[in-house]
């Protein structure tokens, strides 16, 4: 359950913008595992990512978010996997999902302070307990051959 700070921020964000776009990425390592993060301000495990800043291209947003949340430095352009509607959760919201194979990135230092509670490399077919439903569905689509859905 989101805390009061998260609820207020999300309400303001939705009110101040008629359309919102978020980005997430499935970053793969040499063991076939995928990076996931757990935030300090909401429950669950997520693929790293976040919202686009004003006038920020999606590719720059995922580049920024990966460094902030996981210390992942992109060395190549990530592969676009899908664009999803997130309307059931946030009116007029969309999520762009990228795939970042091994060789497209290098390890660095996360720059976010206080946003990320934990990071983990996980088996995409056996994500940790508490993985949010949308993120769990994306892992099944990416790695389990499940058909792609329209909604996050």
SS3 labels along 87-135: CCCCCCEEEEEEEECCCCEEECCCCCCCCEEEEEEECCCCCCCCECHHH
What letter does residue 78 receive in the DSSP assignment?
Answer: P
pLDDT score, position 32: 97
> What is the rounded CA–CA span in Å between residue 148 and residue 34?
19
Q: CB-based contacts of 52: which residues, under 8 Å, 6+ apart?
A: 20, 21, 22, 23, 58, 61
Confidence of residue 148 (pLDDT cuts 50, 70, 90): very high
pLDDT score, position 93: 87
Residue 89: pLDDT over 60: yes
In a domain, 98, yes or no: yes
In a domain, 114, yes or no: yes
User: Of 135, 24, 145, 12, which Cα lies nearest the Cα of 83?
Assistant: 24
> What is the rounded CA–CA span in Å between residue 149 and residue 138?
9
User: Of 139, 72, 61, which Cα lies nearest the Cα of 94?
Assistant: 61
41-80 pLDDT, tens digit each? 999 999 999 999 999 999 999 999 999 999 999 999 999 9
Report the number of distinct structural domains present in the chain. Answer: 1
In a domain, 17, yes or no: yes
96-128 pLDDT, tens digit each? 999 999 999 999 999 998 999 999 999 999 999
**Host domain of residue 41:** 4-144
pLDDT score, position 6: 67
CATH code for position 136: 3.90.79.10
Residue 25: pLDDT over 90: yes
């Amino acid at each position: 359950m989101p805390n009061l700070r998260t609820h207020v921020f999300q309400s303001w964000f939705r009110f101040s913008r008629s359309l919102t776009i978020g980005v997430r990425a499935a970053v793969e390592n040499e063991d076939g595992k995928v990076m996931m993060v757990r935030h300090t301000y909401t429950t669950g495990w997520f693929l790293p990512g976040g919202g686009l800043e004003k006038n920020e291209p999606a590719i720059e947003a995922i580049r920024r978010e990966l460094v902030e949340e996981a210390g992942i430095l992109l060395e190549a352009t990530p592969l676009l996997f899908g664009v999803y509607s997130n309307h059931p959760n946030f009116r007029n919201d969309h999520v762009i999902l990228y795939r970042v194979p091994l060789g497209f990135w290098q390890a660095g230092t996360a720059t976010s302070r206080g946003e990320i509670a934990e990071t983990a490399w996980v088996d995409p077919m056996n994500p940790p307990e508490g993985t949010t439903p949308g993120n769990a569905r994306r892992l099944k689509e990416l790695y389990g051959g499940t058909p792609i859905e329209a909604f996050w």
